[in-house]
Amino acid sequence: MVLQSVIDAVFQVILFSVILFIWWLNSAKKEQSFFAWLGLRKPVIENKGNYFLWLLVIIVLFFGPLFTITYFYLDSSILASNRFTGLGFSALIPALLYSIVQTGLSEELFFRGFLLKRFMHKFGFQIGNIVQSLLFGILHGWMFYSYIPFGVVMLVVLATGFAGYLMGWINERKSNGSIITSWGIHGIGNLLASFMAMFNVL
């Protein structure tokens, strides 16, 4: 299970990165380094107290709606974290790889690193952030479309879209464009869902 988790995580990040790297080569190679172009750099935080307060608020706003929807409306067997159900600490390394690298990093590279920054450049922050967050929400709703009623799909779209908006906001407004902050939030969210599966909380 550990070896397969390493392979899956590395493959997904490489797949996303290759696509983004080709785009960067053809559009921005002369302007910025690849990592700077994606915002994959250390956050520059001007007011640490304000930053950590917002980070805490966003984590609560991120987890609250998504946990509520998962608990009341979704069958845990259809969640990606279901692969860890009942495995306890034996699934710790696979859960970390899945949560932080496979989904957390690859989705942040694509949505907040690539899409938000491209849309922001073209349309400004507000529109760019709304568009990337809607696409983020729609992707997550689409994953459940065949399994749950349409009304619940819309709740998933709205909740994950709202989470995507908040992560884009804290990156661009409080982290000087670094996606490290949203990567941390996203990874923690995925890891919490994995832990709940590992220890049969849901």
In order, the DSSP letters of 135-194 are HHHHHHHHHHTTTS-HHHHHHHHHHHHHHHHHHHHHHHHHSTT-SHHHHHHHHHHHHHHH
What are the φ/ψ torsions at residue 178 (nearest 5 degrees)?
-75, 135
Any idea where the domains of the chain sit in the sequence? 2-28+46-198
Instruction: Give the mean pLDDT of 39-46.
Output: 95
pLDDT at 77: 86
Full-model pTM: 0.94
pLDDT in tens, 131-150: 999 999 999 999 999 999 99
pLDDT in tens, 67-118: 899 889 888 888 888 999 999 999 999 999 999 999 999 999 999 999 999 9
Q: Average per-residue pLDDT in the chain?
A: 94
